[in-house]
């Protein structure tokens, strides 16, 4: 069985500013015959669109394949259209629905078309003795009233949730009508196998067009919302003990370490990091990236990983807004609220009524520091061990070196000593310190503190 994935695409006839309405991709899901109709209508919708619109379809032969077809395309679509309320509800209750979605409506218009096909294809059919599933009794009564037919012997079983579908086949057998009209492919196949006259109720092209246009609007809303600016404020909460034990350069070292780790985390979602002070950092990103970082606003961004790696409490506040200034203001207010909890939770504010407390996820909250010894480059570990041993480092005291001292200890040229220090910095075993002011003039010497505590 091959996977026939249709692509229907149209480009704007003239340039459209990116800040207006973004192009979207809509997924079409359902039985193959229905998806073929959806794809034909999608071509019309795409050609009429003033913006870039693309439709991808994941047709299937059996309802059991619906989830697999959807999951195959979920990362490539902004919205989705399902064949009816049943599959839509299955996706929702099954928690595999990931984008705003709609479904083809079941209305009296679809019933008219089914009754007409029945009268043309089934010999001696009595349209006043029909069994119908899925449609509401009001829709059935209205449709029959429009064509002037009696409904005394027209039987209807409305769709009332996914569990009601299991009763459809037995309902049609029990009523023994001249024709069974169903919206479910599996019910149609089952009844046809048993020799029961059956036709499937299919939505009209007009209904399909309305659903596709709705999905396009949903996709545009998704894209525009995903590109809304978001800010994440990260505030390091120093402890008195750490400051006293670490010497004059403790604050600068902590700031450098925090900045480096934030850059590593933010790079995964294309965010930028700005250092506002030694303890406050701002991460600029989009609402869509924030959703990914927080796993749909269920976990705190950065909080667990930074706390574990830095060894000091960290507060995190996230904010969104209509402007960059509003997003920043919300993020800064949120981080203050996170500081009030001593960094136990991150806080999200959107400037409206939404305020969320986000706790560290289990994976990040218990993560081992990325700088732990098993992950350190072996050569860098040998270099820092040799230097520390030669300088008779006292436990708890800082070891500060420069290129000249490293070259002398390791008995190498200064050029090689400079390369060794670079290796130690890249391995997280040394931090460059602010250049010491030279009393004799000239270029100040660059010094480095060896992070010998990581050798324990």
pLDDT (tens digit per residue) in 439-452:
555 555 777 878 77
Specify the pLDDT at position 85: 93
Locus of tokens 């969320």: 356
67 near 46, Cβ under 8 Å? no
**Residue 198 and residue 131: Cα distance in Å, rounded?**
9
Which pair of structure tokens corresponds to residue 332? 């800064």
- Of residues 329 and 245, more confidence is placed in 329
Ranges 101-110, 174-183, 306-315, most confident: 174-183
* pLDDT at residue 234, as a whole number: 92
200 and 168 Cβ atoms separated by less than 8 Å = no
- CA 41, CA 23: separation in Å to the nearest integer? 18
Mean pLDDT confidence for 275-295: 82
Longest dimension (CA), the chain: 111
* Cα 306 off chain centre by: 22
Exposed e or buried b for every residue in 238-268, given b needs 16+ CB within 10 A? eeeeeeeebeebbbebbbbbbbebbeebbee
Q: Which residue has the higher pLDDT, 378 or 361?
A: 378
- DSSP labels, 363-425: HHHTPPPTT-GGGS-HHHHHHHHHHHHHTTPPTTS-EEEEHHHHHHHHT--HHHHHHHHHHHH
Q: Which of 349, 255, 253, 269 is nearest to 302 (CA)?
A: 269
Distances from the Cα of 261 to the Cα of 178, 314, 370, 384, 428, angstroms: 71, 13, 9, 22, 11
Selected residue with higher pLDDT from 14 and 90? 90
What is the DSSP code (8-state) at residue 198? E
pLDDT at 398 over 90: no
Give the model's confidence band at 18: pLDDT under 50 very low, under 70 low, under 90 confident, else very high: very low
What is the four-CA torsion angle of 61, 65, 67, 69, rounded to 10 degrees?
-60
Instruction: Identify the top-confidence range among 274-283, 326-335, 347-356, 372-381.
Output: 326-335
The burial class, CB within 10 Å (0-12 / 13-18 / 19+), for 110 is buried
The average confidence (pLDDT) of the chain is 81
Q: How many CB atoms lie within 10 A of CB 380?
A: 19
Sheet containing 155-158: order of strands: 155-158, 130-134, 179-182, 198-200
The span from the CA of 182 to the CA of 381, in Å, is 71
**Mean pLDDT in residue range 225-236:** 80
CA distance 125 to 181: 12
**Nearest CA-CA partner of 358 in 433, 413, 303:** 303
The backbone torsions φ and ψ at residue 4, rounded to the nearest 5 degrees and listed phi first, read -90, 100
User: Looking at residue 325, what is its pLDDT?
Assistant: 78
Question: Above 50 in pLDDT, residue 132?
Answer: yes
**Residue 233 exposure: Cα atoms within 13 Å on the Cβ side:** 27
Structure tokens at 380: 């860098």
| Distance between CA atoms of residues 356 and 335, nearest Å | 12
Q: Give me the domains of the chain, ranges plus CATH numbers.
A: 7-104+206-224 (3.40.50.2300), 108-202 (3.40.50.300), 228-365 (3.30.70.270), 373-455 (1.10.10.10)
**What whole-number distance in Å separates Cα of residue 456 and Cα of residue 373?**
9
pLDDT tens-digit series, residues 367-377 = 433 333 344 56
For the segment 198-209, what is each residue's pLDDT rounded down to a tens digit? 999 999 898 999
Cα 183 to Cα 11, 87, 168, distances in angstroms: 34, 11, 10
Q: Contact 54/23 with Cβ under 8 angstroms? A: yes
The Cα–Cα gap between 446 and 206 comes to 73
Supply φ then ψ for residue 57, to 5 degrees: -120, 140
Summarised one tens digit per residue, pLDDT across range 289-327 is 787 788 778 888 888 888 777 778 899 999 887 677 788
Range in 2-11, 99-108, 263-272 with the lowest mean pLDDT: 2-11
Q: Which two tokens stand for residue 425?
A: 């910095």
Residue 150 makes CB contacts below 8 A (sequence gap 6+) with 128, 144
Give dist(CA 360, CA 333) in Å, integer: 19
- 206 φ/ψ angles, rounded to the nearest 5 degrees: -65, -40
What percent of the chain clears pLDDT 70, i.e. is strictly above it?
80
Q: What is the pTM of this model?
A: 0.52
Q: Are 361 and 439 in contact (CB under 8 A)?
A: no
What pLDDT is recorded for position 226? 60
Q: Is the pLDDT of residue 12 over 50?
A: no
More confident residue, 19 or 57: 57
Predicted confidence at residue 430, as pLDDT, reads 77
């Amino acid at each position: 069985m091959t996977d026939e994935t249709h692509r229907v695409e149209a480009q704007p006839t003239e340039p459209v500013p990116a800040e207006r309405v973004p192009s979207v991709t809509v997924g079409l899901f359902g039985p193959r015959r229905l998806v073929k109709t959806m794809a034909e209508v999608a071509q019309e919708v795409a050609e009429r669109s003033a913006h870039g619109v693309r439709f991808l379809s994941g047709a299937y032969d059996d309802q059991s394949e619906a989830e697999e077809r959807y999951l195959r395309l979920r990362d490539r679509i902004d919205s989705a259209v399902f064949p009816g309320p049943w599959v839509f509800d299955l996706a929702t209750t099954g928690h595999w629905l990931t984008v705003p979605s709609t479904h083809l409506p079941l209305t009296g218009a679809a019933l008219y078309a089914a009754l007409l096909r029945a009268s043309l294809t089934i010999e001696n059919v009595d349209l006043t003795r029909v069994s119908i599933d899925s449609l509401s009794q009001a829709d059935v009564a209205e449709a029959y009233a429009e064509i002037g037919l009696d409904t005394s012997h027209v039987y209807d079983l409305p769709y009332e949730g996914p569990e009601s579908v299991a009763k459809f086949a037995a309902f049609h057998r029990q009523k023994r009508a001249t024709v069974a009209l169903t919206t479910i492919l599996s019910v149609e196949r089952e009844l046809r196998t048993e020799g029961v006259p059956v036709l499937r109720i299919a939505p009209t092209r007009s209904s399909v067009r309305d659903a596709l246009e709705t999905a396009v609007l949903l996709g545009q809303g998704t894209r525009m919302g995903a590109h809304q600016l978001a800010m994440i404020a990260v505030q390091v909460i120093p402890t008195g003990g750490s400051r006293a034990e670490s010497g004059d350069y403790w604050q600068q070292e902590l700031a450098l370490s925090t900045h480096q780790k934030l850059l590593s985390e933010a790079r995964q979602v294309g965010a930028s990091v700005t250092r506002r002070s030694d303890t406050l950092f701002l991460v600029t990103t989009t609402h869509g990236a924030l959703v990914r970082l927080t796993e749909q606003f269920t976990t705190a961004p950065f909080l667990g990983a930074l706390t574990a790696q830095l060894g000091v409490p960290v507060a995190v506040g996230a904010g969104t807004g209509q402007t960059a200034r509003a997003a920043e203001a919300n993020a800064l207010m949120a981080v203050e609220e996170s500081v009030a909890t001593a960094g136990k939770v991150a806080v999200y504010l959107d400037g409206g009524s939404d305020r969320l407390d986000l706790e560290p996820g289990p994976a990040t909250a218990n993560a081992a520091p990325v700088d732990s010894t098993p992950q350190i480059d072996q050569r860098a570990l040998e270099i820092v061990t040799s230097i520390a041993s030669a300088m008779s480092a006292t436990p708890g005291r800082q070891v500060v070196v420069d290129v000249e001292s490293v070259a002398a200890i390791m008995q190498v040229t200064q050029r090689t000593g400079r390369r060794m220090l670079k290796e130690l910095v890249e391995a997280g075993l040394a931090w460059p310190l602010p250049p010491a002011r030279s009393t004799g003039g000239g270029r100040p010497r660059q010094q480095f503190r060896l992070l010998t505590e990581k050798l324990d």
